[in-house]
Structure 1
Amino acid sequence: MTLGGTGDLGRDDDAIARFLDEHEPQIVERLSEWVRIPSVAADPERLVDVTRSAHWLAAEMREIGITASVVKTGDTAAVLGELRAADPDAPTVLVYSHHDVRHAKPEQWQQTDPFTPVLRGGRLYGRGASDAKGQAMAHLWGIRAHLAATGADRPAVTLKFLVEGEEETASPNLAALLDEHAADLACDAIVFSDTLQWRVDAPAPVTTMRGIVNASLTVTGPEQDVHSGLASGATLNPALALSQVLGRLYDSSGRLRIPGFYDDVAPLTEQRRREFDALPYDDADWLARSRTRVIVGEEGFTVMERLWARPAIEIVSLLAGDPTGIARSVIPSEASATLSIRMAPGQRLSAVAEHLQAFVAAEMPAEAEYTLDVQVPEGQEPAATPEGPLLNALERALALGHGTPVRGRMGNAGGGPAVLLSERFEAPVLFIGTGLPEDSWHADDESVDLRMLKNGAASIAHLWDEIGTLPAGGS
């Protein structure tokens, strides 16, 4: 199969696309069965379901001919796999994804119960349908399509798989897993599949990923909750002290006020701006698909630049007093917040932690006692795909898989252990995802667009042909 360029992108005679179209009912059926397993790693009562999910995936992989094993990681399980190329000199690619899913609140879901998948309007609804069981499923059907189109029983590259079960809990045992199975997972390149595409009709490679580190800030006030009528105006209210610090994070222009925080942020180049600008964008479309209602952020930067090339700090939880139940009219003894810090290219975990700690120390009222835990060991550095033949191969594969030329290049606003994988195996990372902004990851009514799922699987199928033409060890 010759796939050296993107001149003819028509899909009528595309054996890969035809195979996936013909097998769409089976794709939906298999993904639905997997989504029914509530593999929520953060829920102690569902840890056994994470292991069940791993065994389900391993069995599915073996049906294709992949040698698969389930490996315990802490209280959950990962799946390792391998499918060797016919050519022993072919490049080796490690595919990374995850099969654990986020906690869901059934009372907020309107389309279906989170673990009762339903197909409506070309979308499969259910927790994990997109993040990231759908992404792993795209790889399985991408292999099937690749083999069917080539008529071979082996892929054009040697494929290794690592599908972990702790990604949604910050991958606490991933580093140890990589150490233990370093020889089994050694590779020439890494394909990271836990990312979004911009639009189903506008393929664009993700070439950067923001880093992430979480932090918890707890402020202590009275020795116990005290009646506000007794001590109001004469004692420290930790909820107010916490709010004052958080309220000073940003200035009126949407820029973080933390001294030194931007020192290492890589400046946006004109080339990067052009890559973002090539993507189809308008405010109304973004607001409708993201369900964010309004646009805010750092002045002087577009929405895409804010998402992919600038840092941000989000408050993802606040707790103080009596948030539920019957109010007691008390000054709470404690108030806490959880922060999600999204790091831009160029930033580093240690420096970000130091800047935040210094800021909180300077802004916290002197009378307050507090603890700030920046969870650096679980943090993930920003990642990037280098220019070169591998990225060119990905762009060709995306164009062929979607049946239309690529439009610019994008970033990924979320994080992931891409740098950990890249450094451990001294291999470049390619990002290829099957999610869309409208898929509602981590929120209610998560779903996956079947067109995106099939186009992603087709792109993956073409990618193995494209990489197969490259020399082993080359990038």
Structure 2
Amino acid sequence: MSTEIHSFLTGNRDHIARELCDWVRLPSVAGVPERAADVNRSAHWLAGALRDLGFPTVEVWPAGDAPAVYAEWCAAPGAPTVLIYSHHDVRAAKDEQWEETAPFEPVVRDGYVYGRGASDAKGQVVAHLWGLRAHLAATGRDAPAVNVKILVDGEEETGSAHLAGLLDEHRPQADLIVFSDTLLWRRDHPAVCLSMRGTMLAELEVYGPHRDVHSGAVSGPAPNPVIELAALIAALHDDEGRVTLPGFYDAVTEPSEQTRAELAALPYSDEDWLTRSDTRSIGGEKGFTVLERLWARPTVEVLTVVAGDPVGPSRAAVPAVATASISIRTVPDQSMPEVAKQLQRWVEATISDRVEYKLDVPVEDGQEPYRTPRDHPAVAMLAAAMEDGFGAPAGRMGNAGGGPADLLVRKVGAPLVFFGTSLPEDRWHDSDERTGLDVLIAGAATLASFWQRLSSCRVTSEVPDYGENGTVDSGTAGVAVQP
């Protein structure tokens, strides 16, 4: 079976590349009003591709200016039902920073497809399309051996504001969720992702003078919001790389010995990591390895700092306002509302009384962390399928980013496994984003094998009922799929 799958996909390598390039040409940039029509076109492009593949039910779900795409192909009575989640919106791109090609003029070069969204996450959706095609071709079936539902978000990059409402309205049921907006470790050493950190963004504005004032007139006695903001940011971490918010680590548990052993088993060197990540040097919380810092520990980062005259000639003025965007990555057992309070209390106690400030921490826009039950049968099946797809045993890893995994689990009432087809060096959210065609093909082969393996399972319980608020009780969520 594995040979037939790989032969089919390798024979369609050029077709896969062309299909991805066609989709990447649509600049479905999240949160930019002038790109709303392109996001809509992107959704309809995917809807057409799903119909062409054979999905009998395909719908475009309105969600503000960024519609989602839903499809289902349920022709396997008694087999598990899988809900695949990914997204088709992309981050903005600065054309002048791209060297391989313009962001939305995709090219295939040296085995890579370059273009915004090639990896995050249109390439991952294309891997699913071709994984299903390979599954059908290798088995000779007219429909998948499992019941497949696909939900492709149109606003993941801006926080999936409408996703909870869509899930409440349509209530798609499934026995298992496959979340495809994650990274692999290495092409020659695949790994099953078992966790995703939560994410929350805070916006801090620091106010100095009542207006921008010529520095020659007030420099010295005037409060400078840039200096005060810089001092505050510098105090976010201590000399050991630990976050200084009081209580920040109270609910954080250290990685288990099993997790530490699994991460230590992944091939890693500082030189390899620095080359692939383009991060120049290594820092972070002392006492933990780089991979533990990435996947098992919470972090606080500063993403943007803006003040004065960042564009154009300087006016030589002390600015009235300095702003910073602060990103908080949480781990299971941390409470986002509590972490938000910790940040608010810390800023109030730490910031200079010479300035005023405004801190906005919209907890409702954040995404909670999620950890896959490692003993769920689907984990072992996915690992075996990855060995089929990549030709190497699959290790275990985590995901450093965030996404609506926990939301999907709570709303759908099923456990979730992660599978992506991207690597750390694929330059997500950066210039010259890319995806390797060999990784895309190996990922599609993995999925084709996974569907066949999963089809031999039986569902052991029914999907739990939704509560009045549309959320499945966490104590009953998680329909087991047993061999």
Q: Which runs of 5+ in 2 are unaligned?
A: 460-478
Decide which of 319, 335, 338 is 1:332's aligned counterpart: 319
Which stretch has the larger CA shift, 64-73 or 31-40?
64-73
Instruction: Measure how far apart 1:79 and its partner are.
Output: 0.3
Secondary structure of residue in 1 paired with 2:458: coil
Decide which of 215, 235, 240 is 2:222's aligned counterpart: 235
1:156, 1:346 → 2: CA distance?
37
2:84 matches 1:114: no
Q: Which amino acid in the other structure matches residue 52 of structure 2?
A: E
Q: Which amino acid in the other structure matches residue 393 of structure 1?
A: M
2:335, 2:144 → 1: CA distance?
38
2:206, 2:63 → 1: CA distance?
34
Instruction: Measure how far apart 1:348 and its partner are.
Output: 1.9
1:402, 1:19 → 2: CA distance?
15
- Per the alignment, residue 463 of structure 2 pairs with none
- Per the alignment, residue 182 of structure 2 pairs with 195
- Per the alignment, residue 27 of structure 2 pairs with 38
- Per the alignment, residue 99 of structure 1 pairs with 88
- Per the alignment, residue 8 of structure 1 pairs with none
2:196 matches 1:209: yes
2:253, 2:378 → 1: CA distance?
23
- Per the alignment, residue 296 of structure 1 pairs with 283
2:52 matches 1:63: yes
2:149 matches 1:166: no
Decide which of 272, 275, 279 is 2:262's aligned counterpart: 275
Tell me the TM-score normalized by structure 1.
0.95
Instruction: Measure how far apart 1:244 and its partner are.
Output: 1.1
- Per the alignment, residue 5 of structure 1 pairs with none
List per-residue Cα deviations over 1:318-341 (Å, max 9, x = no partner): 011111211111111111000111
List per-residue Cα deviations over 1:240-277 (Å, max 9, x = no partner): 11111111000111111111001111211110001101
Decide which of 16, 19, 33 is 2:8's aligned counterpart: 19
Give the total of aligned pairs: 460
Tell me the TM-score normalized by structure 2.
0.94
1:317, 1:273 → 2: CA distance?
32
Decide which of 129, 132, 157 is 2:146's aligned counterpart: 157
Secondary structure of residue in 1 paired with 2:191: coil
List per-residue Cα deviations over 1:277-328 (Å, max 9, x = no partner): 1111111111111111111111111110110011111111101111121111
Mapping 1:411-422, distance limit 5 Å: 411-422=398-409
- Per the alignment, residue 205 of structure 2 pairs with 218
- Per the alignment, residue 39 of structure 2 pairs with 50
1:122, 1:343 → 2: CA distance?
36
Report sequence identity in percent: 54
1:145, 1:276 → 2: CA distance?
31
1:224, 1:399 → 2: CA distance?
62
Instruction: Measure how far apart 1:381 and its partner are.
Output: 0.7
List per-residue Cα deviations over 1:65-110 (Å, max 9, x = no partner): 112111110111110000113x311111000000000000010000
Contact 2:5 2:137 in 1 (8 A): yes
- Per the alignment, residue 285 of structure 1 pairs with 272
- Per the alignment, residue 294 of structure 2 pairs with 307
Mapping 1:70-81, distance limit 5 Å: 70-81=60-71
1:453, 1:343 → 2: CA distance?
30
List per-residue Cα deviations over 1:409-448 (Å, max 9, x = no partner): 1000000000000011111000000000000000000000
Decide which of 476, 480, 483 is 1:474's aligned counterpart: 480
Which stretch has the larger CA shift, 91-100 or 338-347?
338-347
Instruction: Measure how far apart 1:465 and its partner are.
Output: 1.2
Q: Which amino acid in the other structure matches residue 67 of structure 2?
A: A
Q: Which amino acid in the other structure matches residue 434 of structure 1?
A: T
2:293, 2:184 → 1: CA distance?
16
- Per the alignment, residue 309 of structure 2 pairs with 322
Mapping 1:446-461, distance limit 5 Å: 446-461=433-448
2:116, 2:264 → 1: CA distance?
32
Instruction: Measure how far apart 1:63 and its partner are.
Output: 0.7
Which stretch has the larger CA shift, 350-359 or 205-214?
350-359
- Per the alignment, residue 83 of structure 1 pairs with 73
2:253, 2:179 → 1: CA distance?
23
1:228, 1:29 → 2: CA distance?
56
2:330, 2:480 → 1: CA distance?
29
Secondary structure of residue in 1 paired with 2:425: helix
2:18, 2:273 → 1: CA distance?
31
Secondary structure of residue in 2 paired with 1:41: coil
Superposed structure 1 runs of 4+ greater than 6 Å apart: none
- Per the alignment, residue 346 of structure 2 pairs with 359
2:385 matches 1:393: no
2:192, 2:180 → 1: CA distance?
12
- Per the alignment, residue 116 of structure 2 pairs with 127
Secondary structure of residue in 1 paired with 2:67: strand
Secondary structure of residue in 2 paired with 1:119: strand
1:296, 1:404 → 2: CA distance?
31
Instruction: Measure how far apart 1:344 and its partner are.
Output: 2.1
Secondary structure of residue in 2 paired with 1:453: helix
Q: Give the superposed CA RMSD.
A: 1.0
List per-residue Cα deviations over 1:168-188 (Å, max 9, x = no partner): 111111111111111xx1111
Instruction: Measure how far apart 1:203 and its partner are.
Output: 1.1
2:334, 2:440 → 1: CA distance?
33
1:133, 1:72 → 2: CA distance?
19
Q: Which runs of 5+ in 1 are unaligned?
A: 2-10
Instruction: Measure how far apart 1:391 and its partner are.
Output: 1.0
Instruction: Measure how far apart 1:239 and its partner are.
Output: 1.1
1:253, 1:123 → 2: CA distance?
39
Contact 2:167 2:412 in 1 (8 A): no
Instruction: Measure how far apart 1:367 and its partner are.
Output: 2.5
2:402 matches 1:402: no
